[in-house]
Structures are given as C-alpha cells and as structure tokens.
A and B are shown apart, each in its own frame.
Chain A
Amino acid sequence: MQRVLVVAACVLLAAATVVRLKRGGGPYFERPATIVDHLGPREHEVHREILALQRAAKTIPRGARVSVVPDDTPHYLTAIALLPDHVVVHGRGDYVIDVR
C-alpha cells in the first residue's frame, strides 16, 4: 500500500510540475534571451533592463559611473549584477540607461 501511495504521489507531483512549467509560455525548446523569460504569463519587471544592460556592458567604458531609469531597487540591483566592471550609482551617472 505504501509503495502505491509513493508512486501515486510522484506521478501527481510530476504532473503538477509540468503544469507549472507550462504556465511560463512558449517557445518551449528555444534558448531564452534572459534568465527571467518564462517566469509567468506577464513580462518580468527587469526583463527589458537585462536586455538593455547586456548591450550597454559592451559599449560603455569600464569604470564609468552608470545609472538606470527607473532608479528603483529591483532595477538598481539588477544593474549592479549585470555591470560588474562599472560603478552603478543612484541618481545621475556619466551614462544613464533608460530601460522603461
């Protein structure tokens, strides 16, 4: 009986996992552009910023002071993460990246 219950539990959890993964939408077998592409039905708040910062990281000189618009916590912290060779500041930097 216990074996049957464990198998049933695993099957149900597997089905629930597939349903949860499907909720992120397609395409299902393409390499995503960012790590937040399929977290839910709506676009993630920093999705556009990641794309913009990936381009900016290649063009803005190393060590430059950079700020992002909007200048709120998620966007600021994401900029710190994606611009490790730059100095990300609140307010107005030498380079301002508008990610709205």
Chain B
Amino acid sequence: MRIAYGVVAAVVCLTTAMFWASAGGLHWNPWLLLLPCGAGFLVCVRGAGWKARATRETLVAITAFTLVTAYGVLTARETCADLLYFWGPKAVRFATARGIDVAFLKAPDHLLMHPDYPPLVPLLYAWGTMIAGGFSYWAPLLLTAILLGLTALLVPGRGGVLMAALLAFGYAQGLAAGAADPILIFFEVAALCALTFLDDPLLASVALAGAAMTKVEGAAFVLVAIVAYAVSRRPLRALAIAVAPAVLLGSWIAFARAHGLIDSYARGATPFVWSNETFVSVARQASYHAYYLPWVAVLAPLVFAKRWKRAALPLLVAAGSIAYVLFFYMHLDANRDLWIAVSAERVLLTPLAAFAVAAAAASE
C-alpha cells in the first residue's frame, strides 16, 4: 500500500514539474525530472500510515488478476483506440519537442485530440518515451496491468482482491488498456482510500490533483469527493484538500486559455437536455454485456455490511459519480450514441470502484 501511494505522488510530482517547466519555456531533461518524481515518492511512501498488511492469500490473488490483465494487454486484447488516436500522438510529439507542443495541439486538423484536455497522461507517456529513447505502444498497455495491481493494493483486506477482479474484468470488457481510465481510477481509488481508511489530507489532495489533471471528468470526481468528505467528515479540512487540485487544474486551464487551446472546458455552453433514450442507452452499457455482474459483485457484499457509517463517504462518492456521468451524457452531442457506446463501460468504472471501496470499508 505504501508503494502505491508513493507511485501516486511520484506521477503527480513528475507531470506537474513537466507542465510547469513547459509553461515557463524550459525544455525537459528526463533525468533531472527524476528529482521531483523521487521526492514525491519518498514523502508519500513514508507518510502512508496504513498499519494492516495484506495477507499472503490476498497478495497471491491480486497478483493473479494482474497477470491475467498483463496477458490480455500484451496479446492485444484490451487496447483502447484512444491510445492510438490521442494519447500516443500527443506523447510522441511532446517528447520530440521536449515540452508541450502548443503548435501541434492548436493545429485545426488535431482538434479531435481535444487540445485543452488535461495533460497528465501524455506527459507521463512522453517522459517514458524520453527515458527509453523512443515510444512503444506496448509500454502504456503494460502500465495498465501494473496500475491494476497498485490500485488493488490500496484497498485493505479482501476488498483489494474484489477491486482487482472488478478492474480486470472492467478493463477487458471496456477496452481500457493504454487509455487514461486506468490512471484515473488509480488516483480516484487512492484518494478515496486515503480519505476513508487513513483520513490523510495530504495523500488525498495529491491523488485528487492527479485525477483532475488526468481527464475532464476527474475534476467532477474531485468536486464530488470534496463535498462528500465535507458532508460526512470534516468540512474545513475538505477545503484544504481541494487546494492542490484547484491550483493545478486552474493553472492548466489558464495555460490553455493563454495559448488559445480551450475546447473541452468550453462545452458548458452546450445545453443540458434530459433524455430517456440516453438514460436507457447508458443503463444498457452498464450491464457490461454480463448481466450487470460488476454491479452485483460490488453491491452484494454491502448487503451484509456491519459498518455503514464508515462506508458513507465512498457510497456518497459512488452516487455522485453516477450523477455526473449521466449529467455529461445528457448534454446535446450529434454523436451521443456512439459516444456512450465507446466510453460508458470505462467511465462507469469510477462508481463501481467507489462501491468496491465502500464494501471494503463496511467490512473492516
């Protein structure tokens, strides 16, 4: 568990340093970037105060699910098309330019890559490209399996195995490998576990900052988690936790605005229209073509829960994340059906993961 929190901080510190260096006009040196990365790792790996250790059975089971996912991604069975279309090209260009390539993002032909999309994923892949001396599509795929194992290790007890099983199926069915979703889920589960089990504001804040910089819906998750923490735990501390994600995301939006990159964040202007067809479409995708098995798997243990109060926070976050997923899909878009078909199974992993954390909290 300590290592997983260390990795959370390392990734956030690394990509923040890359972004701020780029914003300041400095070219990246991949080896110098190891300094903020290592510092973040050491601070958070020492601070993660979870006392319980995973049992041997738990570790074996998590390793087994990690290996199944490694097999799936390395035999090209779980690849997300977004890796080819968005994340890969951005990473390659950023690594070549040794910075955020604004001209590449601004090119009208590249508008579908969403120029203002939070940059953590391409920055992380670009750093790996610079270190390795070239970009390999297999590296982000393998990273998906590694992140699955780390995400499962964040959840104490048998909950970690349930999380591993849930994500192994979810990533395979939703074709999530190489996309931003495994990284987003990693940050979200880290933040939820830091708040639920450790009550550690620093770890939670760092993980939420990572979520906000990974995907647009990461910002919505931050809002939901902060409100849920304020309602169920400590309101004032919730404000302090919000500072790091707000500063990071705010600085990225300011950077995007200054360079004329605003696209995704301007979509608030699109009208919200409730649509029963959209609701049915999302509900159909939520079945994961497996008779809603993931939902049954994470909700059934909650039926026999003993500590509902402790599970209140992740339950509120799960409910909130379902609400914002529907909210996003209810905005008019010419390709809404296609949009739901290719993304719903991935984005619904957020509430599923929150339910898995709630199941672990309720049984502890």
Q: What is A's interface to B at a CB cutoff of 8 Å?
A: 1-3, 5-6, 9-10, 12-14, 16-18, 20-21, 24, 28-29, 32, 34-39, 46, 73-74, 76-78, 80-81, 84, 90
Contact = CB atoms under 8 A, between A and B. Distances in A.
Contacts, number: 121
* A14, A37, A73: most-surrounded residue (chain B CB, <10 A): A14
B353 interface: no
A17 B159 CA distance: 18
Nearest to B85: A77
B48 interface: no
B92 A84 contact: yes
B93 A2 contact: no
Interface string B153-169: 00000110110011011
Interface string B333-355: 00000000000000000000000
A9 B76 contact: no
Given A13-B297, A39-B79, A77 B86 contact: yes
A15 to B, nearest CB: 9
Contact of B162 (A10, A16, A17, A90): A10
Contacts of B78: 21, 39
Contact of B301 (A9, A29, A35, A80): A9
A52 B172 CA distance: 27
Contacts of A5: 300-301, 303-304
Contacts of B264: none
Given A9-B298, A81-B85, 15 more contacts: A6-B301, A9-B296, A10-B61, A10-B161, A13-B293, A16-B169, A17-B72, A17-B165, A32-B75, A34-B76, A36-B79, A36-B81, A38-B76, A74-B85, A81-B89
A6 B161 contact: yes
A13 B294 CA distance: 7
B76 A78 contact: no
Interface of B: 61, 65, 68, 71-72, 75-79, 81, 83-86, 88-89, 92-93, 96, 109-110, 112-113, 135, 137-138, 141, 158-159, 161-162, 165-166, 168-169, 172-173, 175, 178, 290, 293-294, 296-298, 300-301, 303-305, 359, 363
Contacts of A20: 169, 172-173
Given A9-B165, A81-B92, A90 B109 contact: yes
Contacts of B89: 77, 80-81, 84
15 contacts: A9-B301, A10-B165, A14-B68, A16-B173, A16-B293, A17-B68, A17-B173, A18-B68, A21-B77, A21-B172, A37-B76, A77-B84, A77-B86, A84-B93, A84-B135
Nearest to A19: B290
A6 to B, nearest CB: 5
Nearest to B72: A21
Contacts of B301: 2, 5-6, 9
A77 B79 CA distance: 16
A17 B158 contact: no
A14 B168 contact: yes
A38 B77 contact: yes
Contacts of B158: 3, 6
